[in-house]
Structure 1
Amino acid sequence: MMRMLLRVCLIAALLACYVLLSCASEHEKRKGEEFQSNDKNAASNIKVKRNNSTVHDGKSKLVTPRKKVKKIGSKIISARPKGDASCTRLGGICQPNRYICQGRYLKDKCSGAKTRQCCMPVGAWSVLCAGHHNNRVRACDVHGCGAFNSKRGNGLHKAVDLVCDDYGIVNAPFSGSLAGPVSRKDPAGNQFDGVKLLSDVHCVKIFNIRPYQYIGPVAQGEALGYLLPLQERFSGITSHMELQMCDSTDPSPFI
């Protein structure tokens, strides 16, 4: 009986030792797994830090998306006068161009909207041909008519012919500066010489005259030269000088 009790106690002790050893080994295993996981996290943190340091050191380039910038086209705003002095000092009146102007509208001389333009009165220029009381447009003769847009061959006459006397003095219609000689040829090949006169507002070409000078300032009414005779080349023609705007518009409202 005693022997059986000793055996039972021995078996129980062995079982207890086995259980204790199993628990100890299981605890060691878990501890080892936790240590390995901590090592992996530390290694990953170190790698991230190294990557960041390489970016700041310039060893690896960090590509960042570019922001799209909208290009806004700049509007070109033409400079307009602050007041109407540019028009009034020329003797004109600033008004909307939908109104009737007895003379001619000039652009960029008035403040405000572009539709507000300078209306120049009729007869703003002085008489060009000395000895005449007004600027009389050449009527029709055997060689044609002197009005603006009258027929000339296959085209139109983009000038106005003013009646003058042969060798008569031709005066400046407005104050300005002479800008050199000009010439033109008609469809028949005849050449006509003259001079260009311009100011801040107007620019004209005057043909069929012999200027006293081609360059320099002139005052309104000052003698520019004398009329060349046309009877030698065109029998029966009315003696006249030819007045042409530099932009080929109608000079009639000013004369």
Structure 2
Amino acid sequence: MMRMLFRICFIAALLVCCVLLSPALEHEKRRGEEFQSSDENADSNIKVKRNYTTTNDRRPKAGSPRKTGSERVSMGPRSDVSCAKLGGICQPHRYICQGRYLKDKCSGAKTRQCCMPVGVWSILCAGHHNNRVRSCDAHGCGAFNSRRGDDLHKAVDLVCDDYGIVNTPFSGSLVGPVSRKDSAGHQYDGVKLLNDVHCVKIFNIRPFHYMGPVAQGEALGYLLPLQERFSGITSHLELQMCDSSDPSPFI
């Protein structure tokens, strides 16, 4: 009888323990599931952040503009050599230049321009103190871009004396005769002179020779008279750059 009562009490105690432990076990199970869920969410967030970072790394960074093949970068000269070869000096254009300023010959900012001194070339016409540009007369004006009928004069006329000696403006080489005709059919003869920097055509002269090296100031030839064809015209030679630019800054 006693053994039976002991077994019943033991079984009852076990049942009570099971009833009491079940909520605790259920609570621990839920905590474990919540912890596992939070770990999975954290891993997912890390993956999302990594993917976002990788995607952003492929995008161009701010402040670094993308370059395309169609884009062209406008750059000026990288040095002042172009100006120096012409006999000039690069300086801010706000400074006084005794001669003339030439653009796009200097490195740096656009405000730096090439100052060309007066009379870079020698005086072409012997017996004259300077290269004087022909003023206007009955047959036209001698300045660069002066009106010639329907055209512009892409040269400069320098006053000279008939049959007067014409000197070489800069050292270089003579490369043959040149000629041109005006709208009225009049022909003008001359010679071409060039070096590494300059190229000019000098008309209305008869050179002593058409080929070979010449030095600055050397006698180049003599002026052909124009009075026989154009009565009252100012005797002059015509100085034309090979690229039809203005030779005024050099004379």
Alignment TM-score, normalising by the size of structure 2: 0.63
Contact 1:168 1:226 in 2 (8 A): yes
| Structure 1 residue 129: Cα displacement | 0.3
CA RMSD, aligned part only? 2.9
Partner in structure 2 of residue 49 of structure 1: none
1:112 and 1:227 mapped to 2: Cα distance? 44
Structure 2: state its 5+ residue gaps: 1-66
Distance change in 2, residues 1:157/1:80 (3 Å)? closer
Residue 173 of structure 1 is aligned with which of 169, 172, 175? 169
Question: Does residue 206 in structure 1 map to residue 202 in structure 2?
Answer: yes
Kindly report which structure 2 residues correspond to 1:183-202, keeping only aligned pairs within 5 A, or say none: 183-202=179-198
2:211 and 2:76 mapped to 1: Cα distance? 31
Distance change in 2, residues 1:77/1:152 (3 Å)? closer
Question: Does residue 249 in structure 1 map to residue 245 in structure 2?
Answer: yes
Kindly report which structure 2 residues correspond to 1:74-223, keeping only aligned pairs within 5 A, or say none: 84=80, 87-88=83-84, 90-95=86-91, 102-105=99-102, 107=104, 110-112=106-108, 116-223=112-219
Q: List, as ranges, runs of 4+ consecutive aligned residues in structure 1 with deviation greater than 2 Å.
A: 71-82, 84-91, 95-102, 110-119
| Structure 1 residue 118: Cα displacement | 3.1
Aligned length: 184
1:91 and 1:139 mapped to 2: Cα distance? 27
Contact 2:76 2:107 in 1 (8 A): no
The alignment-based identity, stated in percent, is: 79
| Structure 1 residue 220: Cα displacement | 0.9
Contact 2:93 2:101 in 1 (8 A): no
Structure 1: state its 5+ residue gaps: 1-70
2:160 and 2:101 mapped to 1: Cα distance? 25
Contact 1:106 1:119 in 2 (8 A): no
Alignment TM-score, normalising by the size of structure 1: 0.62
Larger Rg: 1
Contact 1:171 1:221 in 2 (8 A): yes
| Structure 1 residue 154: Cα displacement | 1.2
**Letter in structure 2 aligned against 1:105:** L
| Structure 1 residue 184: Cα displacement | 1.0
Distance change in 2, residues 1:75/1:246 (3 Å)? same
Contact 1:106 1:120 in 2 (8 A): no
1:95 and 1:112 mapped to 2: Cα distance? 10
| Structure 1 residue 227: Cα displacement | 0.5
1:147 and 1:133 mapped to 2: Cα distance? 19
